[in-house]
Amino acid sequence: MERPYTAFFESKVVSSTTTGADADVVYTVPANFDSETTLLVCTNGAAVNRINVLVYHADTAQYHYLVRNHSVAGNDTYHVLNSDRLYLHSGDKIVVYKGGGTFDVSVSGKHTYNPVRTI
């Protein structure tokens, strides 16, 4: 039997141009939840520029790149996951930074309550 879930959607206008703790947080998995991310899209509203997408893994306090310095055409989108899924747990984050230009990053998926996991 599948556990009940709630859907989520978050979107962020990217302002950061630096990595790590200074990157923009698009999404943080709430305490006591697991997350299945099904949409992760970067939209470039200006000329060609580059985007970086990382996952902050709360257990190890480390950042890991999903997309590194990826060029996105002007007025175009880049789907990071395509048909893949990204599974995260309490305290994990999706963070982004850009090379310049105008980027929005949107993420959507579902939360599943997990009382065993805490931040």
Domains of the chain and any CATH numbers: 5-113 (2.60.120.1330)
- What percent of the chain is predicted at pLDDT more than 90? 86
> Torsions phi, psi of 21, nearest 5?
-60, -20
Task: Note the pLDDT of residue 110.
Answer: 97
pLDDT digits (tens, 9 = 90+) for 27-52: 999 999 999 999 999 999 989 999 99
Which of the 8 DSSP states describes residue 90? T
Evaluate if residue 113 carries a pLDDT over 70.
yes
Residue 48 has, within 13 A of its CA and on its CB side, a CA count of 4
Whole-angstrom Cα distance, residue 10 to residue 94?
A: 10
Q: What is the mean pLDDT of the chain?
A: 93
18: Cβ contacts below 8 Å, ≥ 6 apart:
97
- What percent of the chain is predicted at pLDDT more than 70? 95
**Token reading at 29:** 């998995």
Task: Note the pLDDT of residue 4.
Answer: 84
Is the separation of the CB atoms in 71 and 49 below 8 Å? yes
Task: Note the pLDDT of residue 116.
Answer: 77
**Token reading at 11:** 């979107």
